Every structure is written in C-alpha cells, then in structure tokens.
Amino acid sequence: SILSGKVAAALDLHPESAGEHLISASGQVLDSFVHIDKFGIGPIVASDVNLMVEPKSGSADTDPIGGTIAPDILKTFDLDFDFGRHTLTLYSPKHCKGKVVYWSLTYGSIPFLDNGGHIVVPAELDGTRIYAIIDTGSSDSLLGEDMARRFFDFSKDNPNAIAIHGAPQDAVVRYRQHFKKLVIGPVTVTNPVLGVRSDKMEKSYDREAQNDVDPAATDLLYGAQMNLPPVLIGMDIFRNLHPYV
C-alpha cells in the first residue's frame, strides 16, 4: 500500500529507506516507507502499518487522493465492490461457502491466480488467450507494447492505434488501441480500448526482477515473467461490474 509524498509531508511523517524498491504501474520508483501507528478503513483500524511513499507531486490541498490501498492490506478480507452505490464492503472470509452473492440470483465466477497478492485472471483479447491483472489503482486498462506488437499488429500506422494528444515522449502510455472483444470468464466487454504501456517500463521492471524470476513462470505468450502480466484491467472496465472477491 502507498501513501502519497504530499500527504506524508502534510502529516509531518519522515520517510525511511525501504532497502529495496518497487515500480508502480505508472513507472514510478518507490524506495522509501513511513510507519503509521494507526491506519483505519471505516470502522476497521490496524496498528503499526508500514506504507510505501510515492514521490511528491502537487499539493495535499489540491489532490484528494492520498494513496493506494493494496492487497497487502485488503487480502485479509473478502471484498464487495458495489460501484452502483459507491460502496466497498469488507467481510470476514469465514462464511458459508457460496453464500456471498446477495444482490442477484444469477452470477458468474472466475478462477484467479494469486500473484504476490495481486489478482490475475485468464482471459481472451480478440481471440488470443492472455493473463490479466485486476488493478483498481489504475484508471485505465493497459496492454504491454511488446505483446501489442507481436499479437495485435500494434504500430503507429495502425488505424486502430490512437496517439494520446499531449502525451510527452517519455510517458508510460502514449497510444491507445481499439479491440473487438475482451472475455473474462462469463463477462464479455465489446469494443474495449486499452492503453499501450511502453516497452521502457517493462524492460526496466525486467532488469530489476531478473534475479527473482521463476523459470517455471516464463511464458512466450504471457510475458517474460508472470510478475507483470502484459494486460492490466483498470477501473474503466472494472467499475461496470459488481465484483465480489
């Protein structure tokens, strides 16, 4: 989980070196953390929590988003995302098996892999089998540039590729690409548009993770290693569902 640098400064928290670093979905390097005595989500309060610190940008007064709550905290609970009511409900995982969907008589279930606390689901994009990571911290869904080129004919000249106006040359995402269909279990998304994540970020991640790669996780279709699936399902798609995890 991450606390923004501007909020850490506003709360007079002093970041310490983490001794290692993470690379966020936006390509930022996170290498420091702060210790929080008490951290609460609604009525649920935890003690002695460490949060990675995101580099400062802007002011705590101008940006209402103070950080990201990640699987290191949320994996303790079952999660009910009700976007229609703008509500996230946290449940104890100790409940009767199969007795969780209270809002509908019909529903579908999707098996997933636990990749370091992140949810990775099997899917199909325009008929090509893929793995996709579910990331509620990303506003947009993304596709790795290498996979886009090899399997989906991505190039700057492809009429399905759209340049993002005003994106700087070093931006993580400079293009979007139109697709016909994304299938995730029983859910079909028609005409999805995915941002194309630059090779620069993926190569940077690969260099940092090279010594930790499990050879069994290497796959020519799904990427150099399973730690960074080439497709990321963001909130532009996820918010149209009522997921229970």
Burial of 169 (0-12, 13-18, 19+ CB in 10 A): exposed
Mean pLDDT of 22-44: 82
pLDDT given for residue 146 in this prediction? 87
User: For residues 130 and 222, is the Cβ–Cβ distance under 8 A?
Assistant: yes
**Which of 107-121, 156-170, 197-211, 230-244 is modeled with the greatest confidence?**
230-244
Closest CA to 22 of 201, 173, 169: 201
Q: Which of 20-29, 49-58, 83-92 is the least confident region?
A: 20-29
Closest CA to 142 of 77, 236, 46: 236
| pLDDT, greater one: 72 or 223 | 72
pLDDT given for residue 98 in this prediction? 67
Q: How far apart are CA 162 and CA 34, in angstroms?
A: 40
pLDDT in tens, 63-116: 677 888 888 888 888 899 999 899 999 888 887 776 778 888 888 888 888 877
Q: What angle do CA 239, 133, 26 make, to 5 degrees?
A: 85
pLDDT in tens, 172-197: 788 899 999 999 999 999 999 999 88
The answer, yes or no, to whether residue 244 has pLDDT greater than 60, is yes
The answer, yes or no, to whether residue 204 has pLDDT greater than 80, is no
| pLDDT, greater one: 60 or 199 | 199
Average pLDDT, the chain: 80
pLDDT given for residue 61 in this prediction? 52
The answer, yes or no, to whether residue 117 has pLDDT greater than 80, is no
| pLDDT, greater one: 62 or 142 | 142
Share of the chain above pLDDT 90, in %: 26
Q: How far apart are CA 184 and CA 186, in angstroms?
A: 6
